[in-house]
C-alpha cells in the first residue's frame, strides 16, 4: 500500500495545476531539473564532442533547456496566466530567459575564466542562482 500512496502523492503533485506557491515551486523545480539535464547534456556534447567554445555551448544549451522548461511550466505548473496571447507570453518568458542567459554567461565566465573552475562546475553554480531568478520573475510577471 505504501507504493500506492507514493503514486497518489506523485499524481497530486504533477497531475493537477495548483495556485499553491509551495506546490508550484516543487513542480517548477522538477521541470527545471529535467530542463537542466537537457541543458547540461547539450553543454557537454557541444563543448566536448563538437569543440564549441564553452560559453557559446552554454548559450545554445540554455536556450534548448529553456524551451523545454516553458512547455513544462505551461502544461504542468502554472494554472493561471497573465496574458491570453501565447506569443506575448512566450516573448516575455523568453526575455526573462535572456536575462537569465546573461546571468548564466557572466557566472560561467567568472567561475571558469577568472577563478579557474571546470566549466561544468561553473554551470552547476550558475544554475542555482538562475533557478531563483527565473521562478520568481516568471511566477509574478507571467503566471500570477
Q: If we measure between CA atoms, which residue out of 72, 121, 128, 132 comes closest to residue 96?
A: 132
User: pLDDT at position 104, please?
Assistant: 94
Q: What is the pTM of this model?
A: 0.79
Give the residue extent of every domain in the chain: 31-141
How much is the mean pLDDT over the chain?
A: 86
Lowest mean pLDDT among 33-37, 69-73, 76-80: 76-80
Residues, the chain: 144
SS3 label, residue 116: coil
pLDDT bin (cut points 50, 70, 90) of residue 4 is: low
Largest Cα span, the chain? 53
Those residues whose C-beta lies under 8 Å from the C-beta of residue 119, and which sit 6 or more positions away, are 43, 47, 54, 58, 108, 112
Could you tell me which residue, 5 or 117, shows the higher pLDDT? 117
Mean pLDDT along residues 125-141: 87
Tens of pLDDT, residues 77-121: 777 667 778 888 888 888 988 999 999 999 999 999 999 999 999
| DSSP, residue by residue, 9-29 | HHHHHHHS----HHHHHHHHH
Asked if pLDDT for residue 69 goes beyond 90, the answer is no
pLDDT bin (cut points 50, 70, 90) of residue 13 is: low
Please name the helix (run of DSSP H) or strand (run of DSSP E) that holds residue 68, with its range, or none.
Answer: helix 54-72
Amino acid at each position: 500500500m505504501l507504493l500506492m500512496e507514493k503514486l497518489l502523492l506523485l499524481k497530486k503533485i504533477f497531475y493537477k495545476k495548483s495556485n499553491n506557491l509551495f506546490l508550484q515551486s516543487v513542480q517548477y523545480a522538477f521541470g527545471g531539473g529535467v530542463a537542466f539535464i537537457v541543458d547540461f547534456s547539450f553543454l557537454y556534447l557541444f563543448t566536448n564532442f563538437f569543440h564549441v567554445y564553452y560559453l557559446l555551448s552554454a548559450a545554445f544549451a540554455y536556450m534548448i533547456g529553456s524551451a523545454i522548461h516553458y512547455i513544462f511550466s505551461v502544461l504542468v505548473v502554472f494554472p493561471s496566466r497573465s496574458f491570453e496571447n501565447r506569443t506575448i507570453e512566450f516573448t516575455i518568458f523568453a526575455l526573462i530567459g535572456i536575462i537569465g542567459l546573461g546571468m548564466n554567461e557572466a557566472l560561467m565566465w567568472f567561475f571558469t575564466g577568472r577563478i579557474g573552475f571546470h566549466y561544468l562546475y561553473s554551470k552547476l553554480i550558475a544554475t542555482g542562482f538562475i533557478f531563483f531568478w527565473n521562478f520568481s520573475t516568471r511566477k509574478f510577471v507571467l503566471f500570477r
